[in-house]
Amino acid sequence: MSDTPARAKNELIKEASHLLRGGIAAGLNDVATGALAEDDTVLLKFHGSYMQDDRDIRAERSKKKLEKAFSFMIRLRIPGGLVSPKQWIALDDIATTFANGTLRMTTRETFQYHGVIKSNLKRTMQAIHAACLDTLAACGDVNRNVMSTANPYLSPAHRDAYELAKALSDTLLPKTGAYHEIWLDGDKVADTSGAAKPEDEPMYGPLYLPRKFKIVVAVPPDNDVDIFAHCLGYIAIVEAGKVVGYNVTVGGGMGMTHGELDTFPRTADVLGFCRPELALKTGEAVLTTQRDWGNRAVRKRARLKYTVEDRGVDAFRAEVERRVGCTFEPARAYKFARTGDQLGWRQSADKKWHLTAFVENGRLKDRPGCTARAAVREIAELGVCEFVVTANQNLMFVNVAAKAKPKIDAALKAHGLAVNASSGLRRNAMSCVALPTCGLALAEAERYLPGLITEIENLLEAAGLRDEDIVIRMTGCPNGCARPYLAEIGFVGRGPGLYNLYLGAAFDGSRLSKLYAQDVGHDKILRLLAPIIARYAKERTEGERFGDFTIRTGYVKATTAGNQFHNDVVLAK
Ligand code: SRM
Ligand code: SF4
């Protein structure tokens, strides 16, 4: 018997796929079902789409012996989250024509559409292409959408960060012709036997990566991209207004599985400092090291964070240095202040204005009293700004001339879209999508968090803390899509109406939280938080953040590293 562990099923699907083609094209033409074949749904992710079903009506349809209400989520690739007004109008049109009438801004600076039916999938992809955008590699075992600190127009350093994000995204894009072939009726790259040419995927190879791969670029003091949560990060070191290089981080990640202690969220390690001219090569070296070293047998342990954890950061650094052909300099000093966005207008040195507006959980839709989607559409039609989706699910209107500011303010006001949130807690809140579309959700998130916050706001109001910035995040399962383990108050779904409550993460995104209470429902959440909030109001030291306070006063122990996440847990009664 061989000692080599069996490869994960997804590895076999990738291998047999002819560079991500599989049977997707044929499946799209099968009108007998609203679904695609299971193996093809694995491949579809690399093209930026997930097959889902409406979980609200799953039981009812099953009772009636009907096929699940299948539809598709489509995620775009928009490095740095920057979109032109013309593109915005096209994206807005697509939401009406093909999706469920909403644009969902994600925690990775891009958009998702929900509810696209199979017969519209190809047309939607073509409409996205017509807007000079694409969805390639937005999901799947490849480098995903690359984030940078929001707003390339804020300073030359922000522009550099954005350009690096864009260059990384372009350089690390799969080279297969499958995307063009399937969605855009491009020329077939495969030969007549169906076999793809081996040179089609020079960097990834036919198996792509063992798992998803995520990159961000941050410009201190803003850590809006949550740099320590990602596989690879670049912290811009800015001197006299210029980026002189980057501290490179590796091995961050959020996902874990309840009850499996060898899975855990992990904050990234700083590898060292690299000059700007080596940044791209470093990205490629980190990616290919993970390609060659990552775990292809057990998907739950296949992320780069486990490769770094298991091999050790020194061995990982040495391998990356070998591949780049350099030795990293010691990391330079940097300081992050916050992970959230600063809402409202800001001016850059070039006298241009930039507005960050709060969008609850990133869902842009029209509802009575707040026609948010129509507001942004109207502003796009004015053509006076560009748009940036932030890593906190908010929206920026950037590069605005002073004389256009009142027009934007007026449109937002007319449509009832408030720029700020009702409290410091809400403006620092994020939740993942969860039900009804996410197939992995164990509990509500996007549909539940706003109401829960309203009740916590009452506690804050009573304590005189309504405007206090406190980071709160919720996800419907432990995969961590809203980065809940880096929130000062984090909720992670366990089952319908039940959450694990985590406390003690750092406000600047540098320290993970710790489990404080398990399987708590609505009333217990409020009962547990009430005394902590009241005490925080009375006993906090000057400038002390909520997360730090919960550690100092003994509610939870500090989590010093990912592999300590499950240790020292004392559950609240
Ligand atoms: Fe995520 C899977 C939504 C950011 C960790 N994520 C999913 C899927 C596709 C569910 C699935 O596999 O069937 C969710 C689709 C829900 C839906 O109905 O739309 C989903 N993830 C999201 C989004 C939309 C959350 C949001 O509300 O904004 C974010 C889209 C990002 C993007 O535009 O690319 C999103 N996901 C994240 C993040 C945060 C980040 O990247 O900054 C994480 C944690 C960071 C990390 O990767 O470690 C994250 N998503 C996961 C995982 C766990 C991965 C792991 O290492 O274990 C899964 C499950 C998986 O991959 O097996 C997952
Ligand atoms: Fe779905 Fe879980 Fe991600 Fe939420 S955290 S979107 S429930 S996979």
CATH number at 66 reads 3.30.413.10
Tokens 């959408």 correspond to what residue? 145
Give the pLDDT confidence of 338-397 residue by residue, as tens digits. Answer: 999 999 999 999 999 999 999 999 999 999 999 999 999 999 999 999 999 999 999 999
- Pocket of ligand 1 contains residue 110 by CB under 6 Å: yes
Does 439 sit in the ligand 1 pocket, CB within 6 Å?
A: yes
| For range 43-66, the mean pLDDT | 97
Reported as a pLDDT band with limits 50, 70 and 90, residue 573 is: confident
Largest CA distance in the chain: 74
Q: What is the pLDDT of residue 185?
A: 86
Query: Tens digit of pLDDT for each residue in 267-320?
Result: 999 999 999 999 999 999 999 999 999 999 999 999 999 999 999 999 999 999
Q: 429 and 294, same structural domain?
A: no
> Which pLDDT score is estimated for 193?
53
367 and 453: one domain? Answer: no
Which one has a higher pLDDT value, 192 or 369? 369
Same domain, 232 and 301: yes
Percent of the chain with pLDDT over 90: 96
The residues with which 345 forms a beta bridge, in sequence order, are 355
Q: Report which DSSP code applies to 294.
A: S
Say how far apart CA 440 and CA 444 lie, in whole Å: 11
Ligand number with the minimum distance to the CA of 139: 1
**Which member of 214, 296, 483, 514 is catalytic?**
214
Residue 190 pLDDT > 60: no
430 and 409, same structural domain? no
Amino acid 186: pLDDT: 79
Q: What is the pLDDT of residues 415-451, one digit of tens each?
A: 999 999 999 999 999 999 999 999 999 999 999 999 9
Domain that holds residue 82: 9-183+202-324
C-alpha 480 to ligand 1 mean position (Å) = 7
Q: How does the average pLDDT of the chain come out, rounded? A: 96
Average pLDDT, integer, range 106-117: 98
Rounded CA separation 558/555 (Å): 10
Residues 160 and 229 in one domain: yes
- Does residue 143 share a domain with residue 63? yes
Q: Is 212 one of the annotated active-site residues of the chain?
A: yes
Domain shared by 258 and 390, yes or no: no
Mark whether 477 is an active-site residue: yes
Report the predicted TM-score, pTM, of the whole model to 2 decimal places.
Answer: 0.97
Q: Is 75 one of the annotated active-site residues of the chain?
A: yes
414, 432, 458 — which closes off a domain?
A: 414
Mean pLDDT of 554-568: 98
pLDDT at res. 191: 47
Least confident among 35-39, 186-190, 393-397, 437-441: 186-190
Looking at the CA of residue 482, tell me the nearest atom of ligand 1: 39
Q: Which of 45, 75, 317, 511 is catalytic?
A: 75
**Residue at a domain's end among 363, 390, 414:** 414
Q: pLDDT grade, residue 198 (50/70/90)?
A: very low
CA 494, distance to chain mean position in Å, is 21
Average pLDDT over residues 50-78: 97
CB 28 within 8 A of CB 41: no
How many residues are there in the chain?
573
Q: How confident is the model at residue 1 (pLDDT cuts 50, 70, 90)?
A: low
Ligand nearest to the CA of 441: 2
Same structural domain for residues 537 and 430? yes
What per-residue confidence (pLDDT) applies to 188? 57
What Rg, from alpha-carbon coordinates, does the chain have?
23
571: in domain: no
- DSSP per-residue letters across 65-110: TPPP-EEEEEE-B-GGGEE-HHHHHHHHHHHHHTSSS-EEE-TTS-
The pLDDT of 454-483, averaged and rounded, is 98
Into how many domains does the chain fold?
3
Residue ranges lining ligand 2, Cβ < 6 Å: 432-434, 438, 440-441, 445, 475-477, 479-481
CATH number of 363's domain: 3.90.480.10
226 Cα nearest atom in ligand 1:
42
Atom of ligand 2 nearest to the CA of 477: 2
Q: Which amino acid residue places its CA nearest to atom 60 of ligand 1?
A: 479
Pair 106, 215 in one domain: yes
- pLDDT on residue 192: 47
| CB-ligand 1 contact for 73 (6 Å cutoff) | yes
Q: Tell me if 141 is assigned to some domain.
A: yes
